[in-house]
Structure 1
Amino acid sequence: MKAVQILGEVSSPEVFSNWSMEKPIPEGSQILIHVHAAGITGDEIIWPEPYASPTRIPGHEISGVISEFGPDYNGPFTVGQEVFAFLDAERGQGQAEYAICLPNEVALKPKSISHAEAASLPIPLLTAREALTDHARIQSGMKVLITGASGAVGVMAVQLVASMDGMHVVALASAKNYEMVKDLGAHEVLDYNSSGWEREVQEVDVVFDTVGGDVLAKVWECVKDDGVIVTVGDPAPTWAFGGGQAAESVDHPKVRYEHFIVSPNAEWLEDGREKIDAGSLRKLSVQTFPFGQAKEAWAHARSRGRKDKVVIVFED
């Protein structure tokens, strides 16, 4: 089978298109997907997981057709169904013609969009949903600040929050994306390039940060004394995994703050499918590259300022 590999070390990685890798065989209750398209998260090239994998195949977002089941599978899916999936962050290996999934990673593909468009959705959709539902625990009537609002995760988050009753959505984005973000449902849009933007919005109940770094440091000035900050910024803040304390929390002792890595959730993928097909959740704009141009696809996915989610297409 065809598969993308990340070779070398994290300090000097090389994206490689391999045309003759071994096709995986599903075991237990696993599901084998014939992948039509796979999404790229550019920062994965600096994650440790691809380098620890024997295959060196990256990728966590796929859309395709069910090809085969492991001998113990007894779920509702059937061979030939079109599905999309998020492969667990520690496993991946989705950027290949065939990929192994677990049942809780898979949902029926939205019928109204292409495989390439479906492959762009799992990480943004699930990250936004998990941040808002499980970590921020948003409720109707809240004021929510979303940073990186024009990025893939931000686009999903703005729509999900704006769809709730009585919400006030404040979006942080570049000036060129103002109208797009407002059209998604944001009530206010701030330019992250403007000096002092953090003083223009105050007393927000929840901050959902998708950027990290200096932006994450500044949002502490925006949140209520008893508010919540949830971040998926990459690289993660120093306090994310070591159980340490955020330096800003000294002056904001009642603010709850969390960093997380997204988890599979087939139920939320299914909910996203229904919303996409009903027209209540917009798809992402994508730019596709054929498998043979995987190196170029990854380079584009890592570039800043792009508007589209990058997807590798495996079908000829």
Structure 2
Amino acid sequence: MNELKENEVVNPKSNKSVPQGSMNAIVFHDYGDASVLQRGVIDIPDRLPGQVLIDVRASSVNPIDYRLRSGEMKGLLPGGFPRVPGYDVAGVIADCAGDSPFAVGDRVMAFLDSARGGASADFAVAAVDVTASIPDSMSFNEAAAIPLAGTTALQSLRDHGKLEAGQRVLINGGSGGVGMFAIQVAKAMGAKVDAVASGDNQEFCLKLGAERFFNYDETDIAQTSETWDLIFDAAGKLDFWDVRERLSESGRFVSTEPDVKGMLMTIVTLPMSKKSRVMLAQPNADDLRELIRLHEKGQLQITIDAIYPMSQLSRAHQHVEEGVERGKVVVTSD
């Protein structure tokens, strides 16, 4: 989608041209199903101080993308159209300030810090502190799969779950985008990891590092006699009150489901020994660098379920809505 680059100016730092004018993007002008996603031409975003302009080579689709597109969360993120969906970006620095830690041409990934997204376009802007350099050994497709899902897994386990080496953690939804990262991050942290997913994903979860596997069609976690120090509901399907007896005395329950009930549970359980937390990932370059470090050490493999061109973003959204078998759905620049 990067053909509209005729109008350019020179970046004084690099003597390379900086895109100006219009760009291709996938936009939506109202809430609805995946058919509201349409190809359009919009202005290339202005790079503000403290930001970089990224020539997008790949992105990925997360459940939050179709939930925002459908209007499910319009109470949390009201109005304003057209919108460009997506928060995951992998690409090349097209413009940056003279004192930036990056240079034009650097390969980077970013977890976009705009509440409105912006990844599904030729170019995107991101704050320097949510952008990280990627090694030559990492493809743009792999890099695009990491930011939101990987950060969600890392922050859920480390910051909200307070996971420590030797503790037992259960990952519900272990084969999905967030769960895939969570199993591996928890293993790298020295935890004893169990996973829940459909039966045909047993081998996948065990290869990622899970020690035990539970088929959700055969086992109701709430009815088992097991206990864990942390239950991380990466699928957003469990209820704290249903599984609280499966937590150790000071155990924690962390969910990725940002609904009113979950947020209320965060408040209600504050004085309790067993706590419930709803997490919303916060863009952070240090966390991206930690995930890249784990990948380079061989402790974080990236599984891509499907790849779509940007022009077929609506199909990619439908794929994620219908359910991803294993890993992430990646979208490449046309």
Q: Same fold (TM over 0.5)?
A: yes
User: Structure 1 length normalisation: TM-score?
Assistant: 0.88
Contact 1:84-1:109 at 8 Å conserved across structures: yes
AA matched with 1:295: S
2:287 counterpart of 1:268:
yes
Label 1:2 to 1:39 Cα distance change in 2 as closer, same or farther (>3 A): same
In the alignment, does 2:24 pair up with 1:2?
A: yes
In the other structure, the counterpart of 1:39 is 60
Over 3 Å counting, the alpha-carbon distance change for 1:131 and 1:290 in structure 2 is: same
Cα drift, residue 243 of structure 1: 6.4
290-299 or 47-56: bigger deviation: 47-56
SS at match of 1:263: coil
Q: Quickly say closer, same or farther: Cα 1:278–1:195, change in 2 above 3 A.
A: closer
Q: How does 1:176-191 map to 2 (within 5 A)?
A: 176-191=200-215
Q: Deviations over 1:104-136 (max 9, x none)?
A: 110012422321221111112101111111111
* Matched position secondary structure for 1:126: helix
Is residue 121 of structure 2 the alignment partner of residue 121 of structure 1?
A: no
For residue 147 of structure 1, report the CA deviation from its aligned partner.
Answer: 0.6
SS of equivalent residue, structure 1 residue 280: coil
Query: Does structure 2 conserve the Cα–Cα contact (< 8 Å) formed by 1:5 and 1:57?
Result: yes
One-letter code of the match for 2:289?
Answer: E
Are the aligned partners of 2:229 and 2:247 in contact in 1 as well (CA < 8 Å)? Answer: yes
Aligned residues: 306
Aligned ranges 1:208-287 → 2 under 5 Å: 208-214=232-238, 216-233=240-257, 236=259, 238-240=261-263, 245=268, 253-287=272-306
SS in structure 1 at match of 2:42 = coil
Deviation readout 1:77-101 (Å, 9 max, x if unpaired):
1010010110126241111110010
Letter paired with 2:137:
S
What corresponds to 1:311 in structure 2?
A: 330
Separation (CA, whole Å) in 2 of partners of 1:124 and 1:201: 30
Residues 116 and 286 of structure 1 are in contact (CA less than 8 Å); yes or no, is this contact kept in structure 2? no
Aligned partner of 1:194 in structure 2 is 218
Which string of whole-angstrom CA distances, capped at 9 and with x for unpartnered residues, describes residues 224-262 of structure 1?
1321111112x535141696537xx9xx94211111100
**Match status 1:151 vs 2:199:** no
Q: 1:206 to 1:147 in 2, by over 3 A?
A: same
The residue type paired with residue 64 of structure 1 is: G
Task: Find the residue that maps to 2:263 and give its secondary structure.
Answer: coil
Q: Distance in 2 between matches of 1:58 and 1:117?
A: 19
Indicate whether 1:171 and 2:170 are aligned: no
Q: How does 1:38-187 map to 2 (within 5 A)?
A: 38-47=59-68, 48=74, 52-70=79-97, 74-88=99-113, 90-165=115-190, 167-187=191-211
Q: Which runs of 5+ in 1 are unaligned?
A: none
Do 1:162 and 1:185's aligned partners in 2 also have CA atoms closer than 8 Å? yes
- The sequence identity of aligned pairs, in percent, is 28
1:301 aligns with 320
1:55/1:74 Cα in 2 relative to 1: closer, same or farther (>3 Å)? farther
Q: 2:313 corresponds to which letter in structure 1?
A: A
* Distance of 1:127 and 1:87 partners within structure 2: 14
Alignment of 1:25 with 2:53, yes or no, is no
* Partner secondary structure for residue 31 of structure 2: coil
Q: Distance in 2 between matches of 1:297 and 1:13?
A: 9
**Shift in Å, 1:102:** 0.3
AA at the equivalent of 1:296: R
TM-score (norm 2): 0.84
> CA–CA distance in 2 between the matches of 1:244 and 1:190?
30
CA contact 1:7–1:14 (8 Å) conserved in 2: no
Q: Over the residues paired in the alignment, what is the CA RMSD in angstroms? A: 2.4
Partners of 1:89 and 1:262 within 8 A in 2: no
Distance 1:144 1:186 in 2: 10
Distance in 2 of aligned mates of 1:100 and 1:61: 12
**What CA distance in whole angstroms lies between the structure 1 residues aligned with 2:291 and 2:237?**
29
Distance 1:204 1:289 in 2: 38
Q: Distance in 1 between matches of 2:206 and 2:64?
A: 27
Residue aligning to 2:19: none
Secondary structure in structure 2 of the residue aligned to 1:269:
helix
CA distance in 2, matches of 1:122, 1:44: 14
